[in-house]
Chains A and B, each alone.
Chain A
Amino acid sequence: MASALINVPPRAKRGEIIEIKTLISHVMETGFRHTQLGAVIPRNIIRRFVCTYNGTEVFRADLYPAISANPFIVFSTVATESGTLSFQWTGDNGFAVTESAKITVE
């Protein structure tokens, strides 16, 4: 499954506030659903999302089962310098996805 869709402006002016949209495929199984036979479907969610900008954390989200399937997170950060924005999702059952995007800051 195409893991993640990231939307980052490829270039920005220094000091500009840029909006970043992220979408990742994940079932976000709550742990509250049951099969027809009454067995609990175990929880399986993304627990943490971190964005780093040239290695420095600029945004973090702790997710719980109340976050919808295929988590969508929009946040902003200040375009300070050119470089790499790195996005990491981690969660239950060893789930770990990392994506990155380059940004040119004038």
Chain B
Amino acid sequence: MRRLCAVLGLLAVAASAVAAEIAPSERRSGYELMGRELRAMQDDDAANPAMLWVLEGATLWKRATGAAGRACADCHGEATASMKGVAAHYPAFDAATKRPVSLEQRINICRVDRQEAPALAYDSRELLALGAYVARQSRGLPIAVTIDDRMQPFLEAGRAIYERRQGQLNLACSQCHDANWGRQLAGNVIPQAHPTGYPLYRLEWQSLGSLQRRLRGCLVGIRAEPYDYGAPELVDLELYLMWRARGMTMDAPAVRP
């Protein structure tokens, strides 16, 4: 308890919440912080619990649904080909709403507009399964979100959230994940917080979960009001985190403690 208070006290009195960005060559995925056994769990598709959702996603991909009676496969064909690299480019700009949308939101846009089916709830079994199946097709590929003039303001909004002190603990994401990564916080090592593996199987959740679930968990952890699932703030933050992790290799669906 004393150690925790000391760390938090140090962070609280730190003059500026804006820490220097991690140099590209120094960026490390959370995978590298895990012990040998957890890395083995992630690497073996026969052992990785996330693969249960990927398998479910493969089934849903081919299932006709909604008033339009269409399956994802009817428009997109084989996901192994058509979805290759897609998750690595999300969040991406949506022309209709004129703002970036997350992969989960894109899946729901397709469901509502093309399949004429109701949108799937966040972190519902089906949405996670489809997200995991699509993200799986980007495994091994570099993260490459597109930032053009349209996306720039949203990237800046995401960066502002990342650097702003929030919550009763008055902490900014950057204070832990840019300034103190690699150090211990209550028995666990602070990761750099790169979303290379989402959606991922988190041992703490004993389930697969989305990046937004993790972000909301962090916000509750610093005793801030978490944004609702699908809130623009969370998507902007996702965009910033993916941009911050540009070039890093996707390892979705990952396993993390």
Residues of chain A touching chain B, judged by Cβ–Cβ distance below 8 Å, are 1-2, 5, 7, 21, 23-25, 27-28, 68-70, 72, 74
Which of B51, B55, B129, B206 is the one whose CB lies under 8 Å from A27?
B206
| Minimal beta-carbon separation of B72 from chain A (angstroms) | 16
Whether B47 pairs with A2 at a CB distance below 8 angstroms is no
Whether A5 pairs with B207 at a CB distance below 8 angstroms is no
Whether A72 pairs with B52 at a CB distance below 8 angstroms is no
Whether A72 pairs with B56 at a CB distance below 8 angstroms is no
Most chain A beta-carbon contacts within 10 A, residue among B49, B58, B129? B49
Whether A1 pairs with B207 at a CB distance below 8 angstroms is no
A69: chain B residues within 8 A (beta carbon): 49, 206-207
16 additional contacts (CB under 8 A) given A2-B52, A72-B49? A1-B56, A1-B125, A1-B129, A2-B56, A2-B59, A5-B46, A5-B55, A21-B46, A21-B47, A23-B52, A25-B52, A68-B206, A69-B207, A70-B49, A70-B206, A72-B47
Judged by DSSP, the binding face of B is helix
| Minimal beta-carbon separation of A4 from chain B (angstroms) | 8
A68: chain B residues within 8 A (beta carbon): 206
Q: For residue A22, which residue of chain B has the nearest CB?
A: B46
Q: For residue A7, which residue of chain B has the nearest CB?
A: B46
Which of A1, A23, A28, A74 is the one whose CB lies under 8 Å from B51?
A23
| Minimal beta-carbon separation of A70 from chain B (angstroms) | 4
